[in-house]
Chain A
């Protein structure tokens, strides 16, 4: 079920009631969370509850087995087996048809007949997120970062916790799992933060993200209009994906907060980044840190010299792109960012521009970063090689469609609230800057956002973009 739906509001209201009723029992709370989270997930398709359960049970078992094994070779083999099984499941559901079709095309071009057949495989919602989260448990036990949890229900709750189940943030075991094993305290501050994040997150998704989505559709097709429209359309997509995803992440953190949980921030004003490295420290933080800790470092990180570090960065981003979807444009997007990061390493060294750097240098860095990031969004959103080529070629087309003025106006209307809020947060160096307002001012702001949500809460629900990953 979608966060921005009537059924979820009813679900959460009922959950809160039961949550209050079980306040005296940790065990009951975690059972409630598991039951509710499975109901939440099963509402989309109950047939994949088994997969969620299997994934959780498998990694929980692997954690215990790893703790029992002593021989490094055996432990390594078990970890490798665990990775194989997890990625095998992910690979089957997400990438089978992609690779089968791509192989067939490749062999076809070489003149070699090749046919594997495609399967009508449904992609389970959230599989990329909960698989990575569950896998990280085995990794952390293997590395000795934590002891395997004895309580299976707690582990089930950790993996399936509904605020973050279908679109992250991908939680670290050491950060979230202990919260299921202790009494939580819900303070007034947490409540304030949670309520703010739920309202702001919902506003970003419902008002901004969903409203600019049709603008993106007007531009991203096989016969795109001229340069100005493609540029604005790409900006619109950058706005859409950011508001959609960060809105969801804020909602997830807000929901968790009011329950007493602390889940990680997933975004930190990414469009203020003045370098690509900084961008990736601010965008989809849970994924980028996961890839850094479990892939980049496993490949050797920067321990084998700068040249190897560049290769590792590129490979990590390439696979990070593939994680987003079974299509070559996502791989291209990953490669684009990988190449950008490598180029940044080569030309700027390992150090980012210091905060004391001249404003001109920081502005130049910001401009260059945004050009790379937004052209990357063009690659990300295009549905085929043909579209990538058509959109890129259209950047040299000076013509403009008659609706360009209305397009720019509409985009500006929805961009202004986001820009205003984020400039405020950036200058205050505080993502929760609105909480510093006087009570009446904060109520006015939240009320205005609620009115906006009411007005743009359309009957036809647009899904969250990251549900498809």
Chain B
């Protein structure tokens, strides 16, 4: 017995399958042409938390600003310090350009250069804050670095290492998402970020209102490796960062706190030594040894960020430390 018989011709089959592909092809043509000839808005791929932070900080770095104190560093810089409070305490506007832990000192240097080009004569002080976990793995992850680089260049970023990435690049999906969708449709967050910020627009709004600072609303227990050290590759990256600091601008560096129980009793002394050594590589004007090396575990959201309630006190201690070196 036969399995099946068909009562349609190949021509009829093609007539069913091919026409719906026409709008798909048209979409691709419109997106590719629009992107190539500047008919579409510039890419702004704020499509998830990391990219929203990178895009926001990159835009802030290029904006006109009278900030005299600029904070740079990883996510602990972004989320442990309230830049608005810091500026009020110092009597000078502070701007937080901290980003995420997957970007290295080279990326932070790039943001600093963007800022100084947009705002000649500013800032007076650069405060570089990093978590000790970032100092043992100081290199950038390729993807977020590419996002930053492409955004600053005004180009779409394509992930060409997978079939899906290549398809999205070719079909115009990347261009649609980064140029149109990101502007028209906010992306919802999940977990604690979703409950606190809601959407990418909520995160960006918060950062704008707090001079570039954000908070980590999570409450995870600290986990991971508590063995901290300076990576040898940090020396080269530190020199690259130093070169971006304008002459006459003070460079102050600090290592953000970690949970006391998690890091162990010997950590504060280790932190101070790391800070001194790093300060030498960076040729910093000062190492902020007076900042607390550890805080109570209950004050931390994980191993690298402070809980929101702990931020004001830490910001105050940072203000006191910076004030000393601004004299």
Q: Which residues from chain A sit less than 8 Å from chain B, CB to CB?
A: 6, 19, 22-29, 182-188, 191-192, 195, 199, 214-215, 217-218, 221, 223, 225, 259-260, 401-403, 406-407, 409-410, 413, 439-440, 442-444, 446-448, 450-451, 454-455, 457, 459
Contacts and interface: CB of A to CB of B under 8 A. Distances in A.
A451 B24 contact: yes
Contacts of B37: none
Interface stretch (B6-14, B114-122, B316-324): B6-14
A446 B66 CA distance: 52
Given A443-B20, A443-B22, A451-B23, A410 B5 contact: no
A196 to B, nearest CB: 9
B227 interface: no
Nearest to B2: A183
Contacts of B266: none
A186 B13 CA distance: 11
B186 A406 contact: yes
Most chain-B CB neighbours within 10 Å: which of A199, A223, A444, A454? A454
A446 B20 contact: yes
Nearest to A260: B4
16 contacts: A19-B3, A22-B3, A23-B6, A25-B2, A184-B3, A185-B5, A185-B6, A186-B6, A199-B20, A214-B194, A217-B188, A217-B191, A221-B195, A439-B19, A454-B171, A457-B164
A162 to B, nearest CB: 16
Given A6-B163, A406-B198, A455-B176, A447 B3 contact: no
B141 to A, nearest CB: 16
Contact of B3 (A25, A191, A223, A450): A25
A125 to B, nearest CB: 23
Interface residues on B, range: 35 or more
B202 A183 contact: no
Contact of B24 (A6, A410, A450): A450
Given A217-B191, A454-B171, A195 B16 contact: yes
Contacts of A401: 198
Closest 7 CB pairs of A and B: A403-B198, A447-B23, A443-B19, A29-B3, A446-B20, A214-B188, A184-B4
Nearest to B193: A218
Contacts of B23: 443-444, 447-448, 450-451
A114 B188 CA distance: 44
A70 to B, nearest CB: 33
A443 B5 CA distance: 26
Interface in B111-170: 162-164
Most chain-B CB neighbours within 10 Å: which of A191, A259, A451? A451
A10 B194 CA distance: 35
A199 B19 CA distance: 13
B269 interface: no
A39 to B, nearest CB: 19
Given A25-B3, A218-B190, 4 more contacts: A191-B16, A214-B188, A217-B191, A447-B22
A23 B190 contact: no
A29 B26 CA distance: 39
Interface in B165-190: 171, 173, 176-177, 181, 185-186, 188-190
Nearest to B162: A459
Contacts of A455: 173, 176-177, 181
B198 A186 contact: no
Contacts of A19: 3
A191 to B, nearest CB: 6
Interface in B6-52: 6-8, 12-13, 15-17, 19-24, 26-27
Nearest to B202: A403
A242 B237 CA distance: 52
B21 to A, nearest CB: 7
A455 B181 CA distance: 9
Q: Which secondary structure characterizes the binding site on chain B?
A: helix
B2 A24 contact: yes
Nearest to B13: A191
A215 B164 contact: no
Nearest to B201: A406
Contacts of B181: 455
B207 to A, nearest CB: 14
B2 A26 contact: yes
Contacts of B241: none
Contact of A188 (B12, B185, B186, B195): B12
A455 B17 CA distance: 20
A64 to B, nearest CB: 22
A29 B15 CA distance: 27
Given A214-B189, A450-B21, A455-B176, A186 B4 contact: yes
Contact of A23 (B4, B24, B191, B201): B4
B314 interface: no
Given A410-B186, A439-B19, A455-B173, A182 B24 contact: no
Contacts of A214: 188-190, 194
Nearest to A183: B2
B1 interface: yes
A218 B23 CA distance: 35
A444 B24 CA distance: 9
Contacts of B278: none
A310 to B, nearest CB: 41
Contact of B199 (A191, A410, A444, A450): A410
A454 B28 CA distance: 11
Interface in B198-226: 198-199, 201-202
A402 B198 contact: yes
Contacts of B162: 459
B188 A218 contact: yes
B3 A195 contact: no
A406 B4 contact: no
A455 B178 CA distance: 11
Given A410-B185, A454-B173, A440 B3 contact: no
Contacts of B5: 23, 183-186
A29 B185 CA distance: 47
A197 to B, nearest CB: 13
B189 to A, nearest CB: 7
A211 to B, nearest CB: 8
Contacts of B8: 186-188, 191
Nearest to B192: A221
A291 to B, nearest CB: 33
A104 B191 CA distance: 31
Nearest to A33: B3
A355 to B, nearest CB: 35
A450 B188 contact: no
B201 A447 contact: no
B227 to A, nearest CB: 32
A439 B20 CA distance: 10
